[in-house]
Amino acid sequence: MTNFLEQTFNGLVSGSFLALLALGLAVIFGLLRVVNFAHGAIYMLGAFGAYVLADELGLSFWAALIAVPLGLAVVGVVLERAFIHRLTRLDPLYNFLLTFGLTLILQDLVKARYGVQSSPYAVPSALSGSVDLGLFEFPAYRVFVLAMSVAICVGVWALLTRTRIGMVVRAATERPELTRAFGIDVGRWITPVFGFGVALAGLAGVLAAPMRAVHPLMGADLIIVVFAVVVIGGLGSIFGSVAVGFVIGVLQVWAEAYAPESWRALIAQTLPFLLMAVVLLWRPAGLFGREETA
Amino acid sequence: MKRFATALGAVALLVTACGGGPQSGGDSKLTGGKIVLGVLNDQSAGYSALSGKNSVEAVKMAIEDFKAKYGDKAVTSDIEVVDADHQNKPDVANTKAAEFYDRDGVDAILDVPTSSAALKVADVAKAKKKLYFNITAATTDLTGKSCNKYTFHYAYDTYMLANGTGKNATENGAKNWYIVYPNYAFGQDMERSFKAAVEKAGGHVVGEDAAPFPSDNFSTYLLKAPTLNPKPDVIGTMQAGSDLVNLVKQYNEFKLRDKGVGLSVGLMFLTDIHSLTPAALAGTTYTDAWYWNFDAKNREWADKFKARTGSRPTFAHAANYSAATQYLEAVQAAGTDDADKVVAQLEGKKVDDFFLRNGEIRKADHRVLHDAYLAQVKQPDEVKEDWDYVKILKTIPAAEAFRAPSPDCQL
């Protein structure tokens, strides 16, 4: 039983990354109707940002945790103004292709500069120990990742439901025309929201650097799972994306640990996509999505 | 008259167009009048650091050295290298290999990491009757049920790794093993080989798990390891490339070494140690096919390699150089690139170059035999030079390093 709880907790930790990435994607899709394929590459840039700041400027993990998302938010704003903004009036496929192209360019730029081998990054010394959680001990860094991710998801939820900005963004997400008809300038929120979504991906990247291989393609496989998460949750549904992110994290770990022995790896790997297929057949708008936004 | 002139012109054109072939082929007996080597490997993903573009560079070095050695007496001075990215995908490898042989006139394909892709290329080589030196894939099927007359397995295989690492670690006290392996041909083969080697040495495999490939999260297995009964002395990981980096990072995070669960790595390349830093792997033992700072001879080549690429060579880079050299030597000796004649030159040949120590190209199954090494990652304070991360504990003689020819192999 203890082991089961330990594994479940561990699943929540790996779900943290899915949730943070899905949250950013959902916020961006909600307001811009853009499926940002470059989200995985931004996650990778976040991890590399932490590595470069440590390696070349000697900055700590904590500094990177603030500086990298801010820096990437600026990158996001520039990308939105320079490219994405020009294509939003066309078929969504154009921006999908644009961000896919950006992904390839970003990956290759990082490869050209830092090579294809993984770059070293250590767990911050303050979090290198273990925490006693009552039933079991767990690496402190993992507990921190989970706490951080939950705090951010709750923070974004509070921002959206308790503030005026959040109200405008939610209204513009659900009924863009009607919101405009009320005289609200939806357009001015587009660029900051895109920058914010990108910053979340960058933050997830910084959090990943101490526990995962910092590699030019680290986001390429992950982003496909995140897309499945967002589709299952319902495109544009912020709550759905976050919840499904954590759930998929846990289900994958359960599959790896408890599925019939010879099927474990296969089930863990295909589970997000099997669920996606089932959900699409049963509720095409996703579990928490609304028909008209789908 | 005018019509006749046109016809004559057309004939003349045809003759000039086709004439090149037999004429130049006449002196050197080379198809197309030149030798073309094809390097097919991962140039973008997890295995591109350990072979990738730098393997192409190593093959170019071999060609330059060959030309310098023979000068005017070389069978040809026209030797080309083509390369392609197979993305570790068997279907891509299959198509690219066929393109190499048919379209680019490739005489021999080199490298090809990822066992599932490597086996596809062996099928293509067999069908097209063209040479193939596999360097970077590990599966013993290349010299087992998938062996063929045109395929040579050059650098290492799962038996060599398992026998070196599994046997030695078990004899040194790691009795109980928990094996984690990536769920594809290479991992499954490694798991079988390791299990056999561990059990033969008197050890016991208490658990084994196939992990998704690729994966960035191995914590499930790391949490499970200490709860197994009996508790494993060591986790044997068969992950490679960036998967290995993920696993080792997380192994350190869960502090399993402090909990009495050691780490043994099935396959590791110098570039992996570089990424993880020696501190993350200090004390880990593994079997190496070649090490750049083993002696002056290796170091001399490693210096040239570094001057060109900026990094030290992995054993895959050195083996690509060696295989290209041995192929060119065989063509030189045969005086032709005719695949059957080159194979006849290679079979049974005893070789001693800087990569193949006490080397022999075994006739029975085309396994290339050579000395292997039991290596240990140095403690951080022992590392005095960049990239010099390993000490060699012992040399495993060529005769013991590889398995006996398999009865499954009918050339």
Residue A207: closest CA among A249, A139, A140, A144: A144
| CATH number where B70 lies | 3.40.50.2300
- Cα A9–Cα A10–Cα A14 angle in degrees, nearest 5: 120
Torsion sign, CA atoms B36, B38, B39, B43: positive
Q: Are B209 and B242 in contact (CB under 8 A)?
A: no
Residue of B nearest to A258 (CA): B220
Q: Is residue B212 part of a domain?
A: yes
Q: Per the structure block, which two tokens stand in for B180?
A: 């984690």
Please check whether residues B266 and B386 belong to one and the same domain: yes
Q: Is residue B305 part of a domain?
A: yes
Pick the CATH number of A2-123+132-293 from 1.25.10, 3.30.920, 1.10.8, 1.10.3470: 1.10.3470
CB within 8 Å: B209 and A141: no
Please check whether residues B239 and B305 belong to one and the same domain: no
> Out of B213, B242, B253, whose CB is closest to A141?
B253
Please check whether residues B89 and B193 belong to one and the same domain: no
For chain A, what's the residue count?
Answer: 294
Q: Is A138 left (phi over 0), alpha (psi -120 to 50) or beta?
A: beta
Q: Is residue B175 part of a domain?
A: yes
How many CB pairs lie under 8 A apart between chains A and B? Answer: 98
CA separation, residue B272 to residues B48, B53, B180, B238 (Å)? 11, 16, 18, 13
- Give chain A positions within 8 Å (CB) of B48: 116
What's the pLDDT score for residue B6? 52
What's the pLDDT score for residue B25? 39
What's the pLDDT score for residue A240? 93
Contacting residues for A285 by C-beta, under 8 A, at least 6 apart:
A234, A235, A291, A293, A294
What's the pLDDT score for residue B23? 39
Q: Are B207 and B233 in contact (CB under 8 A)?
A: no
Count: domains in chain B: 2
Torsion sign, CA atoms A205, A207, A212, A213: positive
CA B388, chain centre distance (Å): 21
Q: Is residue B222 part of a domain?
A: yes
Mean pLDDT of all residues in B8-37? 59
Contacting residues for A140 by C-beta, under 8 A, at least 6 apart:
A127, A128, A129, A130, A131
Q: Is residue B267 part of a domain?
A: yes
Mean pLDDT taken over chain A: 92
Please check whether residues B358 and B392 belong to one and the same domain: no
Does residue B143 have a pLDDT over 80? yes
Nearest-angstrom CA–CA distance, A191 and B27: 69
Band (pLDDT 50/70/90 cuts) for residue B10 is low
Measure the CA dihedral A61/A62/A63/A64, to 10°.
50
- Give chain A positions within 8 Å (CB) of B44: 111, 116, 217
What's the pLDDT score for residue B241? 81
Please check whether residues B150 and B258 belong to one and the same domain: no
What's the pLDDT score for residue A89? 86
Which chain A residues have any C-beta within 8 angstroms of a chain B C-beta? 3, 6-7, 10, 13-14, 111, 115-120, 123, 130, 139, 141-142, 208, 210-213, 215, 217-218, 221-222, 252-253, 256-257, 262, 264-266, 268-269
Contacting residues for A12 by C-beta, under 8 A, at least 6 apart:
A146, A246, A249, A250
CB within 8 Å: A14 and B221: no
- Cα B33–Cα B34–Cα B36 angle in degrees, nearest 5: 145
DSSP string, A207-242: HHTTTS-B-TTHHHHHHHHHHHHHHHH-TT-HHHHH
| Axis-axis angle for helices A187-208, A140-162 (nearest 10) | 170
What's the pLDDT score for residue B18? 45
Nearest-angstrom CA–CA distance, B175 and B173: 6
A65: closest CA of chain B, how far (Å): 19
Running DSSP on this structure, what letter comes out for residue A289? -
Q: Which amino acid is at B148?
A: N
Q: Domain limits at B331?
A: 33-156+294-370
Does residue B406 have a pLDDT over 90? yes
Does residue B259 have a pLDDT over 50? yes
What's the pLDDT score for residue A188? 87
Residue of A nearest to B43 (CA): A116
Q: Which of A7, A106, A117 to mutate to test the interface with B (most CBs of B within 10 A)?
A: A117
Please check whether residues B390 and B299 belong to one and the same domain: no
CA A251, chain centre distance (Å): 18
Does residue B258 have a pLDDT over 80? yes
Please check whether residues B365 and B312 belong to one and the same domain: yes
Q: Is residue B307 part of a domain?
A: yes
CB within 8 Å: B46 and A215: yes
Mean pLDDT of all residues in B328-337? 96
Q: Per the structure block, which two tokens stand in for B352?
A: 């001693």
Q: Are strands B372-377 and B390-396 parallel, antiparallel or unpaired?
A: antiparallel
> Out of A6, A117, A218, whose CB is closest to B216?
A218
Q: Is residue B409 part of a domain?
A: no
What's the pLDDT score for residue B3? 54
- Three-state DSSP at B286 gives strand
> Out of A115, A213, A252, whose CB is closest to B246?
A213
CB within 8 Å: B245 and A213: yes
Give me the residue spans of the domains in chain A: 2-123+132-293
Residue listed under structure tokens 């526990």: A211
- Give chain A positions within 8 Å (CB) of B46: 215, 217
Please check whether residues B333 and B380 belong to one and the same domain: no
A204: closest CA of chain B, how far (Å): 14
Q: Which amino acid is at A278?
A: V
Does residue B113 have a pLDDT over 90? yes
Please check whether residues B123 and B225 belong to one and the same domain: no
Does residue B398 have a pLDDT over 50? yes
Q: Per the structure block, which two tokens stand in for A15?
A: 């779900």
Please check whether residues B90 and B195 belong to one and the same domain: no
Please check whether residues B126 and B190 belong to one and the same domain: no
Q: Which amino acid is at B396?
A: I
Per the DSSP assignment, residues forming a β-bridge with A214 are A119
Picking from B89-103, B158-172, B291-305, B332-346, which range would have the lowest pLDDT averaged per residue? B158-172
Residue A69: closest CA among A210, A159, A200, A211: A200
| Axis-axis angle for helices A187-208, A61-79 (nearest 10) | 150
Cβ-based neighbour number of residue A265 at 10 Å: 22
CA separation, residue A52 to residues A45, A206, B280 (Å)? 10, 11, 19
CA A243, chain centre distance (Å): 12
Please check whether residues B56 and B136 belong to one and the same domain: yes
What's the pLDDT score for residue B226? 93
Nearest-angstrom CA–CA distance, B39 and B24: 25
CB within 8 Å: B246 and A212: yes
pLDDT in tens, chain A (294 residues): 888 999 999 999 999 999 999 999 999 998 888 999 999 999 999 999 999 999 999 999 999 999 999 999 999 999 999 999 999 889 989 999 999 999 999 999 998 888 777 888 989 999 999 999 988 999 999 999 999 999 999 999 999 999 988 888 888 888 888 888 988 888 888 999 999 999 999 999 999 999 999 999 999 989 999 999 999 999 878 899 999 999 999 999 999 999 998 899 999 999 999 999 999 999 988 998 876 543
Show the DSSP H helices in A115-237 as ranges: 140-162, 164-174, 176-181, 187-208, 218-233
A273: part of which helix (H) or strand (E)? helix A264-282
